[in-house]
Amino acid sequence: MQIRAYAKINWSLDTVGVREDGYHLLDMVMQSVSLHDTLTIEPAESLRLTADGAVRVPVNGDNLALRAAEALRAHAGITAGAAIRLHKRIPSGAGLGGGSSDAAAVLRALNQLWELRYPLETLCRIGLELGADIPYCLHGGLCRVRGIGEIIAPLPVHRIYQLVIIQPCRGLSTKQVFTALGQAGSLRRPDTDQVAAALENGDLTHLAAAMGNTLQEVSVPLRPEIRAAIIALRERGARVAQMTGSGSAVFGVFSSADAASTAWKALSKRYRTCHLAHTLMNEAGEGD
């Protein structure tokens, strides 16, 4: 079987507390976008992963997709295998959820291939042990996500947004960004309720005024290229531009597909990792 693993963007990301175990509590609005990896999965005697594409990734136990397959097999108490081939397009260390999306795709596919028939809730519990974004990536679409990533509420989608996504510099580790967050003072916070309402109404003007990413302010001093890329997107006509996740990728929202395409053609000459994309209606890729 072949399955797509879609990247995600954060329309908003707010930190609202810290648990006793040190995990940050978040309040976010996330959406799947058309940029995707492709996984081909076939029955095999053993469990193995190969990878190709524009982005180099490990194919051993450091790969989240392989770890997800191993975790699912262990949970089921089976010895079944699978040959997983990953064609990578989503940049690594970008805050686009590429590794988490690959892991979610593997969980969905192997649940079917191995005829486990686990409900989505079970797959999410398995995924959460591996990465906080995996439960969202299992749901996909437009969602409000709270807690450490386990509280997920789908939101209605009525509009597709045209995007240009840039990774202007090497990636940032989540640990590095949250360490900087702990040392920061007051930060600008998004109005997450208004972000959700603006997306439901398809109102880009109100969306631009409400959206934000609390981690952006602490990431920019670590990677000044992030701010430069945001400025470049705005200069090319983006209605709004910001960092996604813990970086280092940024995205710009454009008023039309033609405007996004024109900006992408210009910016791709300056940035090696520059993608033309759009938001998706749901995790199955409607609108793709």
If we measure between CA atoms, which residue out of 13, 277, 11 comes closest to residue 149?
Answer: 13
Q: Would 89 be classed as within a structural domain?
A: yes
256: domain CATH number is 3.30.70.890
Alpha carbons within 13 angstroms on the beta-carbon side of residue 63 total 21
Domain span at 138: 2-154
One domain, residues 9 and 131: yes
One domain, residues 166 and 271: yes
pTM of the model: 0.94
One domain, residues 134 and 205: no
Q: Give the confidence band of 18 by pLDDT, cuts at 50, 70, 90.
A: confident
What average pLDDT score do residues 179-189 get? 79
Where among 96, 125, 154 does a domain terminate?
Answer: 154
CA 174 from chain center: how many Å?
Answer: 13
Q: Which of 21, 88, 133, 269 is catalytic?
A: 133
Q: Would 286 be classed as within a structural domain?
A: no
One domain, residues 166 and 149: no
Where among 100, 122, 154 does a domain terminate?
Answer: 154
128: domain CATH number is 3.30.230.10
- Over pLDDT 70: what percentage of the chain? 97
- Whether residue 8 lies in the annotated active site: yes
Count structural domains, the chain. 2
pLDDT over threshold 50, residue 71 = yes
- Whether residue 265 lies in the annotated active site: no
What average pLDDT score do residues 244-256 get? 96
One domain, residues 273 and 187: yes
One domain, residues 197 and 150: no
One domain, residues 6 and 143: yes
One domain, residues 106 and 180: no
Q: Would 249 be classed as within a structural domain?
A: yes
Where among 137, 154, 171 does a domain terminate?
Answer: 154
Rounded to the nearest integer, the mean pLDDT of the chain is 93
Question: In Å, how far are 178, 237, 268, 277 from 170, measured between CA atoms?
Answer: 17, 25, 16, 21
Q: Which of 8, 14, 37, 88 is catalytic?
A: 8
If we measure between CA atoms, which residue out of 146, 133, 145 comes closest to residue 102?
Answer: 133
Q: What are the beta bridge partners of residue 160?
A: none
- Over pLDDT 90: what percentage of the chain? 83
pLDDT tens digit sequence for 123-177 = 999 999 999 999 999 999 999 999 999 999 999 998 999 999 999 998 877 788 8
